[in-house]
Amino acid sequence: MTELLERIAHCIEFGKINKASSYPPDMKGQDGADECTKAALDQGVPANDILQKGLVPGMQKVGIKFRENKIFVPQVLMSAKAMSTAMVHLKPFFQSGEVIRKGKFVIGTVAGDLHDIGKNLVSMMVEGAGWEVIDLGVDVSVDRFIKAVEENPMCVVGLSAMLTTTMVNMGTIVSSIKAKYPNQKVIIGGAPLNKDFCSEIGADFYSPDPQGAIEYIDNLV
Amino acid sequence: MKRISDEVRSGHFLVSDGAWGTFLHKKGLKSVECPESWNITRPEDVMDIASSYILAGADMIETNSFGGNRYKLKRYGYDDKTREINEAAAQISRKAAGDEKHVLGSVGPTGIILMMGETSAEELYEIFREQAMALEKGGADAIIIETMSDLEEAVIAVKAAKENTRCEVICTMTFEKTVNGEYKTMMGISPSEIPLKLKLAGADIIGSNCGNGTKAMIEITKELRSVTTEIPIMIQGNAGMPKYLNGQTVFQETPEDTASYVPDLIKAGANIIGGCCGTTPEHIKKIAEKVHNLNK
């Protein structure tokens, strides 16, 4: 059983989606996240263990390597793809409550900004860390963020911006959310941001990479 | 008109233009607005940007078409105006440039990641072909494929421009410094990996734009030059990293700061120097003073 979970973690770490996938080249012909997850469930491995001891550790390695610039966006995307393939098999267990997730993470690219690559990366990696992710998409207004907070009490909010012209919209969103929900945690990320900007607009945390965000929100639980 | 690469080969150093996006925002472009739509709705404002770089001493100016590919325009509902918008972009810059200066039709990334299977190489080629042809029709004599991070996408764009227009083709990619001190694109590509592949695809000029400021471009230029002695190199850096001050984002490099890196950039092997995000006509003027001095 442990061996199978380790194999799942390995598939996630190296982006092996399924047997048919030719990526990564050195795993050609081997079972991928798809087959291994199915096999684990067939063998009676609890779905929660598959998530916590297979997917989460695999994705954590991805997050750390990405932060250390040992891997780049393409590798992360392949890992995320492998993870979502595995997740398909776990879906019924989320609904039944057999798999317990750490909490809810609401994420969106702020109003005026249509960039989604960074937001999607964070979204996929947070999901891979065992969170339920509610992705509001791009060009998300203050009202939509507030509505999502209303609908998902105890969630953590993540704001993304790629442009110097849209990062300023983050300030409005943070203060509007905090005015209504003073204890609501809001974290931010995006190419032009930094720590100083984060404290200036009153956000709770800034991370230059997805792993930092995951470590921060994991600590809130 | 002489080709840019021939001018460079005859020993001249040239100056390109500065920022368009941040300039448009200064003129009132809202962040939800499609920047390229101004080519049709507010051509005078676009013309004003183009002219200000010509007046500053640029030998070549770009066009307001960075996000003018069909995919990006679709997000604003302008995809059925793709040709019109790009043609207008080139017409405006040509009007500002006259017959003596070069017009580089700007082509940015699609924002779609090929390896994720959201699109095919054939479809990407078609998207870039359409944009490049419209820019040529509007009067561009070169196509600049810029801010690229995916080498595969860059190669497709270069081929599409080369095989379907008579324009010179320039391709510049965006590198950032990793924690290990190397420069890589978001997709993990090193400067030294790009010259040969882009040249093979048909690029006449290669280089780097955007990124972490003009100073970082010195090292990037060195790395590009380490694998190619012949192909002209174009460098357009940001005016430093943006800082947030009193509710506004400010780029830190002054025109003098940016111009102070010119000698080192030339020494490292750059042939054409301009600016990217946050640079202004004043930056270009200072760069031009230094660069054009070398041609005397």
Q: Supply the pLDDT for residue A1.
A: 67
Average pLDDT of the residues in B227-251? 88
Q: Do B116 and A73 touch (CB under 8 A)?
A: no
* Contact (CB, 8 A) for B96 and B60: no
Domain boundary among A38, A72, A96: A96
What is the structure's pLDDT at B141? 98
Arithmetic mean of pLDDT, A164-186: 94
**Using CA atoms, how far apart are residues B13 and A116, in angstroms rounded to an integer?**
38
Same domain assignment for residues A75 and A116: no
**A144 vs chain B: nearest CA distance in angstroms?**
16
Verify that A149 and A75 share a domain, yes or no.
no
Q: Do B188 and A73 touch (CB under 8 A)?
A: yes
CA atoms within 13 Å, Cβ hemisphere of A205: 21
- Which site among B249, B253, B276 would you substitute to test the A interface, given the most A Cβ atoms closer than 10 Å to its Cβ? B249
pLDDT at res. A53: 96
Across the interface, do A165 and B111 touch by the CB < 8 Å criterion? no
pTM strictly above 0.90: yes
For B32, the closest of A72, A116, A139 (CB atoms) is A139
Interface test with A, best of B25, B27, B30, B31 (most A CBs within 10 A): B31
Are A60 and A116 within one domain?
no
CATH numbers and ranges of domains, chain B: 4-293 (3.20.20.330)
Q: Are A147 and A86 in the same domain?
A: no
Shared domain for A213 and A116, answered yes or no, is yes
Q: Does B277 sit within 8 Å of A164, measured CB to CB? A: yes
**Nearest Cβ partner for B178 among A69, A74, A77:** A69
Distance (Å) from the alpha carbon of B89 to chain A's nearest alpha carbon = 22
Give the model's confidence band at B6: pLDDT under 50 very low, under 70 low, under 90 confident, else very high: very high
Average pLDDT score, chain B: 95
Min Cα separation B201/chain A (Å): 22
Cβ–Cβ < 8 Å for A48, A100? yes
Domain end point (choices A44, A78, A96): A96
* CA nearest neighbour of A130 among A162, A86, A77: A86
Are the Cβ atoms of B244 and A139 closer than 8 angstroms? Answer: no
Q: How many domains does chain A have?
A: 2
Return the residue matching tokens 């709770």. A204
Size of interface A-B (CB pairs under 8 A): 71
pLDDT value of position B212: 86
Peptide bond into A24 cis (omega under 30): yes
Residue B174 burial (10 A CB sphere; 0-12, 13-18, 19+): buried
Q: How confident is the model over B86-95, as a mean pLDDT?
A: 98
Residue indicated by tokens 């093979």: B200
- Nearest residue, CB atoms, A200 vs list B30, B31, B244: B244
- Say whether pLDDT at A163 is over 70: yes
Look at A164 and B113 and tell me if their CB atoms are within 8 Å.
no
Q: Is A116 on the interface with B (CB under 8 A)?
A: yes
The verdict on A92 and A108 lying in the same domain is: no
Closest Cβ opposite residue A68 in set B115, B179, B187: B179
Q: Compare CB distances from A72 to B188, B241, B251 and report the shortest one's residue.
A: B188
- The DSSP result for chain B, as a single string, is ---HHHHHHTT--EE----SHHHHHHTT--TTS-GGGHHHH-HHHHHHHHHHHHHHT-SEEE-S-TT-SHHHHHTTT-GGGHHHHHHHHHHHHHHHHTTTSEEEEEE---S--GGGTSS-HHHHHHHHHHHHHHHHHHT-SEEEEEEE--HHHHHHHHHHHHHH-SSEEEEEE--EE-TTS-EE-TTS--GGGHHHHHHHHT-SEEEEEESS-TTHHHHHHHHHHTT-SSS-EEEEE-SS-EEEETTEEEE---HHHHHHTHHHHHHHT-SEEEE-TT--HHHHHHHHHHHHHTT-
A186 and A214 housed in the same domain? yes
Distance from CA of B245 to the nearest CA of A (A): 9
pLDDT at B49 over 70: yes
Does the beta carbon of A209 lie under 8 angstroms from any beta carbon of chain B? no
At A14-63, the pLDDT tens digits run 999 999 998 999 999 999 999 999 999 999 999 999 999 999 999 999 99
**Which of B6, B15, B98, B54 has the alpha carbon at shortest distance from B292?**
B15
Say if the Cβ atoms of B22 and A165 lie within 8 Å.
Answer: yes
- Shared domain for A108 and A215, answered yes or no, is yes
Chain A contact set for B180 (CB, 8 A):
68-69
A208 Cβ under 8 Å from any chain B Cβ: no
**Yes or no, beta carbons of B188 and A74 under 8 Å apart:** yes
Is A167 close to B31, i.e. CB distance below 8 A?
A: no
Examine the domain organization and report whether A124 and A210 are in the same domain.
Answer: yes
Q: How far is A2 from chain B (nearest CA, A)?
A: 31
pLDDT(B249) > 90: no
> Chain B: residue nearest A161 by CA?
B31
Q: Do residue A207 and residue A127 come from a single domain?
A: yes
Residue B26's nearest CA partner among B53, B40, B51, B46 is: B46
Task: Say if residue A114 is in the same domain as residue A210.
Answer: yes
Which CATH number covers residue A209? Answer: 3.40.50.280
Nearest CA in chain B to A118: B186
Please report, for the domain that includes residue A49, its CATH number: 1.10.1240.10
Query: Both tokens of residue A78?
Result: 């392949």
Reported confidence tier of residue B241, pLDDT bands at 50, 70, 90: confident
Q: Which domain holds residue A113?
A: 104-220
Q: What is the ipTM of this complex?
A: 0.86
| Domain-ending residue, one of A74, A96, A118 | A96
For chain B, say whether A77 makes contact (Cβ under 8 Å): yes
The answer to whether B31 contacts A113, with C-beta atoms less than 8 Å apart, is yes
Predicted local distance difference test score (pLDDT) of residue B248: 76
Check residue B296 and give its pLDDT. 83
Mean pLDDT confidence for B179-190 = 95
Q: Is the pLDDT of residue B32 over 90?
A: no
Give B100-110 pLDDT, tens digit per residue. 999 999 999 99
Q: A207 and A157 in one domain?
A: yes
Lookup: tokens for A146: 């507030």
Contact B184 A113 (CB under 8 A): no
From chain B, the residues in CB contact with A163 under 8 A are 31
Answer whether B31 sits within 8 Å of A81, measured CB to CB: no
